[in-house]
Amino acid sequence: MIQRYEYVKRAAQESELKPWQRVYTNRNLKLDTVTHMGFDMDHTLAVYHEKLEKLAFDLSIKELVSKFGYDQKILDFEYEYGGVIRGLVVDKVRGNVIKLDTHKYVEIAYHGEKRLTRDERKVIYAKPGESYRPDGDEYRYLDTLFCLPEAYLFLRMVSFIDETEGQREDYTQLASEIRTSIDTIHRNGSLKKEIADNINSYVNKSAQLAKTLHHFIQGGKKLFLLTNSEYYFTDLVLTHLLSNELSEYTRWQDYFEIIVVSSRKPGFFLKDTEMESIKVDELGVKISKDVSYKVFRGGYYAKIEELIGSSGENIMYFGDHTFGDILKSKQTCGWRTAMIIEELEKELKTIDSHKDKNAKLSGMRGELYDLQEELHLYEEKIHSLRDRKIDCFDDLTKKELENMDIKISESQCILSQLEIQLSETVWKIKSLEEELLEDYNPKWGCLFKSSRRKSRLGDQVEDFACVYTSSITNFYYYPTTKYYRISRDLMAHERYDSNSY
Ligand SMILES: [Mg+2]
């Protein structure tokens, strides 16, 4: 009875949810068939403050100076939030960062901090007869928020090198040195030490996280943790987020049946590797016996399925990494997937704030369509009058010919006015489109769209994730027996008014 009440209450709440509190569906998903739920930690359970990007950026620059001997001037570089966004691709050879649409067309490209013109982009990325395929080691994909400081540092360094040494033929070595620097600060513990010393400033705490996990457990789901982070760091972050939050769970470990750390995803889904039980963490601290029986390091997905006694579609995995978490778990194991995209909240708030401007844009596009039609009619009229004048020249009187010339001239005059109106409307539409895109990101525009098409990231989210949302805590608003259904497919005529950015 209580469960039924809970269901009705939450289902009723759903219609009142803000767009950024909702869960969006790409594939039908019956949550009551899911028995086990797995969770990634970083950027899934744990939401980091954006200043973590600046910290990684600053520490990596120090590495570049001390290990690779770069000029100390680079220590003054300021980190620019939003300087790059998720979903972009780093072209390591050419020193560029590019945004691709769903057809792999390069819509925006920066060489260092300089935006390339359309012609410059075309020379590099649109060779006649070849479709551009950014595959292989030359490219690095920005698939998680952890990649952003590295990519932004690459852009800043490319500009710095161009200004101080002149343009290079190949920036691969720079990309590799930056990669090594980032790897070093992750591996030597300097980044994590800073987080540990200031956990309240770097890890955003939400009381709703514990409630959401409790909501799943109360709904009969068994939970497991599957993270690439080490045990000591996982312990630090999840103690901050979950321990002593609810009276039913003293320790964060109490929420989970199995805890897998240092899992090396995507390898975890691809390669049969031993899953090791651990009793001591990476810093040599003993893990309590009450907990250590369920803590493992590394391994392979089949082992976790064996341990929990469930497999395939009965398992749902929550993660933020397009490939490492979402694609591979779905493709290899047939697990259902939920993708957490933090940036979705800001994107949806921007869309919400654009309602009036979108209506204006839609109206202007309608005007443009009418103008194009009218222009076409006058072009046809002028053509037909000219053709008639030539064909019937010998049969027409002088007066009739003069009248015809007057009609042609009048139509040409109207046509010229229409052309002016059309170019003004095109300009107004373009300005408004640019204004709308700037609200998303002045350099890169909307995360999920590229002009009028989907961006590479938008395409991947739609292809790979069964459901997606901006925060794991949004699942708290939905019943644990929820049937997530896709909206019915719309035909072109049904989407006539959906020209929103
Ligand atoms: Mg993650």
What DSSP element (H or E) covers 95?
none
Please report which helix (H) or strand (E) contains residue 454, including its range.
strand 453-454
Q: Which of 210, 190, 259 is nearest to 230 (CA)?
A: 259
In words, the CATH class of domain 2-47+201-347 is alpha beta
pLDDT band, very low/low/confident/very high, at 501 (cuts 50, 70, 90):
very low
First CA to last CA distance, the chain: 44
pLDDT level of residue 323 (50, 70, 90 thresholds): confident
The Å distance, Cα 41 to ligand 1 centre, comes to 6
Tell me, in angstroms, the distance from the centre of ligand 1 to residue 166's CA.
Answer: 38
124-138, 209-223, 322-336, 358-372: least confident range: 124-138
Alpha helices (H) along 188-321: 190-197, 199-202, 207-218, 231-242, 267-270, 289-292, 301-308
Ligand 1 centroid, distance to 40 Cα (angstroms): 6
The pLDDT of residue 103: 84
Per-residue pLDDT at 279 exceeds 60: yes
d(CA 399, CA 121): 57
Distance of CA 485 from the midpoint of ligand 1 (Å): 26
Instruction: Give the pLDDT mean for 407-435.
Output: 93
User: What was the pLDDT predicted at 415?
Assistant: 94
| Residue-level length of the chain | 501
Query: From the CA of 419, how far away is ligand 1's center (Å)?
Result: 53
Which candidate, 45, 32, 35, places its Cα nearest to that of 3?
Answer: 32
pLDDT in tens, 171-195: 999 999 999 999 999 989 899 999 9
Residue 242 Cα to ligand 1 middle (Å): 17
Ligand 1 centre and the CA of 44: distance in Å? 6
Picking from 325, 311, 338, the residue whose alpha carbon sits closest to that of residue 23 is 338
Residue 46 Cα to ligand 1 midpoint, Å, equals: 8
Question: pLDDT by residue (tens digit) across 218-261?
Answer: 999 999 999 999 999 999 999 999 999 999 999 999 999 999 99
Which letter, b or e, does each residue of 322-354 get, where b requires 16 or more Cβ atoms within 10 Å of its Cβ?
bbbbbbbbbeebebbbbbbbbbbbbbbebbeeb
Mean pLDDT of 89-104: 92
Compute the distance from residue 386 Cα to the ligand 1 centre, in Å: 68
Task: Report how far ligand 1's centroid is from the alpha carbon of 116 (Å).
Answer: 32
Find residue 277's DSSP bridge partners: 296
